[in-house]
Amino acid sequence: MTSDDMRDASMLDLFRLEVDTQAQVMSSGLLAIERTASPEQLEACMRAAHSIKGAARIVGIQAGVDVTHVMEDCFVSAQQGKIQLGPRRIDQLLRGVDLLLRIAASADDQGFWQAGAGRGEIDIFLQGLQDSLAQPDEHGPAPIQETSQETLSATASEPGFDAPRGAAEAHQDHADRMLRVTATHLNQLVGLSGESLVESRWLPSFNTSLLRLKRQHQHAAHSFDLLRDTLRGSDLSELQLNAMRETQQHIDACQKMLAERMAELEAFERRNTSLSRRLYDQALACRMRPFADRVVGYGRMVRDLGRTLGKQVRLDISGESTQVDRDILEQLEAPLVHLLRNALDHGIETPPQRRAAGKAEEGVITLSARHHAGLLQITVSDDGNGIDLEQLRSSVIRRGLVEQATAARLSTSELLNFLLLPGFSMRDTVTEISGRGVGLDVVHDMLKRMRGAIQMFSEPGHGMRFQLQLPLTLSLVRSLLVSIGGEAYAFPLAYVNRTMILDRQQIEMLEGRQHFSFDGRQIGLVAASQILQSGDAPAGEDGIALVVIGNQGQTYGLQVDRLLGEHMLVVQPLDARLGKIKDVAAAALMENGAPVLILDVADMLRSVEKLIAHGHLDKIQNSADNQQVKSSKRVLVVDDSLTVRELERKLLSNRGYAVRVAVDGMDGWNVLRSEPFDLVITDIDMPRMDGIELVTLIKKNPQLKAIPVMIVSYKDRQEDRQRGLEAGADYYLAKASFHDETLLQAVEDLIGEANA
């Protein structure tokens, strides 16, 4: 491509950008003029048309010059008071805006569309607007032409409308340059900055290790002081006295250096954590776009569709500057357009109906966005007639969804939730907008995929309100951490109905399956460990920990080992080469750097249904089972490799041992001091505290030194074995050489069979 070609291509890009920007100015201005005659808006439309005409002339697009020229004439005549811009002329001018966007979009085809298929459409528009200028002022609105209906959805989803607002800001502030960055690169940047934030949280553990080292050093210094006091008065040689003085100096120097390094580490920790947080926040901000970027054209859509339905409607938008994650913003279009069309068709009444109800003829739909309680909250409301709750109740009964007696007891919120069911519609007749069986379930499903939720509120005769709650970003997820089979897992909070501790006396048997009472209903009881094929949940006497998931027709209580509390996790997508992993949605790193799997709740519900259908659903352990579990010998597996931990856990669990896992030496040491164990199996090379140090601590502790310790390591040299055994290990097994039976036989040699 020659330099001239590159220059031409660049000019066409600028022309398209100019048309996108100024088309939005004209669309907004014309809608404002239709409501209230405004000289300022008229002037803005005039300038926008003039700018496009100049740009079209520069790049040699005559069709753009012709269209904007006649639009300018119309604006000038309105400014001079010769004509009024009523609904008929507003329709024509809006069609001109659509035509300019099509002309700009076809700028690369060397004018073929403008000279061929589009020429007739352009000529019809030019002649129509010129005839309108020569006619007396109109009285009353004109019907919308079919071509306007074709542009209805295009206006809201026009690709060019994603750029105007950002481009206008770039012109206003030349210092803030706009650059093209792919979504993939942005996602990688956010992911890396999230990992940096997680890594920064390891520093406190290093600081803790230094504190432990400082205490050990203080003990050593104290022991030396005792030795010196014991030897005081003894007949020591000068050489021995000098050695003791030199040792004391080294001890003092080490204490001073250690204190200085700890102070430096603490300062570095604060700076690093702050920097990592700022880096992550800034990377996240790069993904954010104003809510206005998605709602461009919605005012035009509502106005045109309202006129098609014979209704006068205005769309009020607030919170346009609210920042929204670009991935969420892109997925919001379908739900928002559906809710707006729903409000127009079901909610807003015709002018005669509104007059009879004592309302203004013009209906108002409000669309707002804001950040609230750490979530993005979007509200779509209207001042229409709301939902007839008794009609809805009758529809629910007629469709056989509930019995009449049950329907009579349903609350308003429970009734409204039926609107979210697939195929549910209040209309019995099919129109272009309603009654096709594609209802609010589409909105509901899209929100669930974005980890969001929807609430509905209706005031009969006064309107309807839909409140959408979404995460601020898809790269972070508020989660409930639980322990299942000794491993940590995360439930996205958006899918958790409730957490509870269930008394075992409340478990009932219905048709051979375990249930419990929840909100007046019988809910099935399922062990999460069976779904994930992990170790059995520990059976406590005080009750079992439950996570209640599902919806009205499909709700279950999942038994977990423990509830670990709410955490904000940085989502790490799974490697695409793994494909879809059953019951797992994504991964994340916890604050201590340990990996955790984020569960796919919808997939888990399907897994439960499959277990029930095949009759394979296990029962939660009863009291007799508890005694067996209590008698099982307990083994602690300490390894920083998830694969090795899982392999050893499964081998031992299948043999009947009760297994607990820890992700490194420090984690294992904390677990050992809080729970009883019959055996410890540990790796050597681990972060924070290695296996040799763990073994040493165990064997020096009076309460723990009797526990047998087995080292399982890839290090197979004789010196490695000797080092482990000298630290106090009772058995040393090389990972590279052991087989399943080798490990199990070693365990039985040390502590016997699981239930012996």
Residue 178 domain-assigned (yes or no): no
Q: How many domains does the chain have?
A: 5
Is 31 found in the same domain as 110?
yes
pLDDT confidence band for 430 (50 / 70 / 90) = very low
Three-state secondary-structure class, residue 336 = helix
Based on the fold, state whether residues 675 and 728 are members of the same structural domain. yes
What average pLDDT does this structure show over 543-563?
85
670 with 642, same domain: the answer is yes
- Please determine, for residue 264, whether its predicted confidence score (pLDDT) is greater than 60: yes
pLDDT at 360 over 90: yes
Burial of 611 (0-12, 13-18, 19+ CB in 10 A): middle
Last residue of a domain, one of 238, 256, 286: 286
In a domain, residue 134? The reply is: yes
DSSP letter for each residue of 197-218: HHHHTTHHHHHHHHHHHHHHHH
Higher pLDDT, 737 or 579: 579
Q: What is the mean pLDDT of residues 415-439?
A: 64
Based on the domain organization, do 295 and 282 belong to the same domain?
Answer: no
**Domain annotation covers residue 39:** yes
pLDDT of amino acid 553: 63
> What confidence category does residue 350 fall into, taking pLDDT thresholds of 50, 70 and 90?
very high
In this prediction, residue 152 has a pLDDT band, given cuts at 50, 70 and 90, of very low
**Res. 540: pLDDT tops 70:** no
Are 636 and 564 members of one domain?
A: no
Helices 62-79 and 39-59 cross at an angle (nearest 10°) of 160
Question: Looking at residue 499, which CATH number applies to its domain?
Answer: 2.30.30.40
Lowest mean pLDDT among 397-401, 427-431, 503-507, 578-582: 427-431
- Provide the pLDDT for residue 163: 35
433 pLDDT above the threshold of 80: no
Question: Does residue 602 lie in a domain region?
Answer: yes
pLDDT number for residue 138: 52
Q: What's the pLDDT band for 6 if we cut at 50, 70, 90? A: very low
Average pLDDT for 661-690: 86
Per mean pLDDT, which range of 47-56, 314-323, 364-373 is the poorest?
A: 47-56
pLDDT surpassing 80 at residue 497: yes
* Cα 19 from Cα 100, distance rounded (Å): 7
Q: Are residues 153 and 270 in the same domain?
A: no
Residue 494 has pLDDT above 80, yes or no: no
Decide if pLDDT at 743 tops 80: yes
DSSP state of 435: -
Which position has the token pair 């080490």? 254
The pLDDT score that the predictor gives to residue 622 is: 54
Q: What's the one-letter identity of residue 650?
A: K
Out of 194-203, 401-410, 616-625, give the one with best mean pLDDT.
Answer: 401-410
Query: With bands split at pLDDT 50, 70 and 90, how would you rate the model's confidence at 137?
Result: low
- Per-residue pLDDT averaged across 439-447, rounded? 79
Could you report the per-residue pLDDT of 592-616, keeping only the tens digit for each? 667 789 998 888 888 888 888 777 7
Same domain assignment for residues 484 and 445: no
Which of 152, 172, 192 finishes a domain?
172
3-state secondary structure at position 619:
coil
Q: Tell me the CATH number at 11.
A: 1.20.120.160
Query: Tens of pLDDT along 459-472?
Result: 888 999 999 988 87
Q: Is residue 47 part of a domain?
A: yes
Percent of the chain whose pLDDT exceeds 90: 9
Beta strands in 244-339 (DSSP E): 288-290, 312-318, 323-325
Report the distance separating Cα 174 and Cα 48, nearest Å: 20
One domain, residues 355 and 497: no
CATH code: domain of residue 316: 3.30.565.10
Distance in angstroms (rounded) separating the CA atoms of residues 435 and 427: 5
Residues 449 and 306 in one domain: yes
Q: What does the pLDDT average to over 386-411? A: 85
Separation between Cα atoms, residue 670 and residue 592, nearest integer Å: 14
**Has residue 177 been placed in a domain?**
no
pLDDT, the chain, mean: 79
Burial group, residue 111, by CB count within 10 angstroms (0-12, 13-18, 19+): middle
Query: What is this structure's pTM?
Result: 0.54
Is residue 489 a contact partner of residue 596, using CB atoms and an 8 Å limit?
A: yes
What would the DSSP string read from start to end of 223-259?
HHHHHHHHHTTS---HHHHHHHHHHHHHHHHHHHHHH
397 and 257 within one domain: no
pLDDT of residue 403: 84
**570 and 678 both lie in a single domain:** no
- Give the tens place of pLDDT for each residue, 44-100: 888 888 888 888 887 788 888 889 988 988 888 888 888 888 888 888 899 889 888
Average pLDDT over residues 616-640: 69
pLDDT value, residue 369 = 93
The span from the CA of 525 to the CA of 512, in Å, is 12
Average pLDDT estimate for 99-109: 83
Domain presence at residue 580: yes
| Nearest one of 363, 366, 308, 367 to 91, comparing CA atoms | 308
Least confident of 104-113, 443-452, 477-486, 704-713: 104-113
Query: At 680, which CATH number?
Result: 3.40.50.2300
Reference 735, options 748, 720, 752; nearest CA is 720
Same domain, 453 and 547: no
Among 286, 320, 341, give the residue marking a domain's end: 286
- Residue 236: pLDDT band (50, 70, 90) is confident
Domain residue limits at 80: 3-172
Shortest CA distance to 11 belongs to which of 50, 43, 57? Answer: 57
pLDDT in tens, 452-461: 888 889 888 8
Give the bridge partners for 466, in sequence order: 380, 456
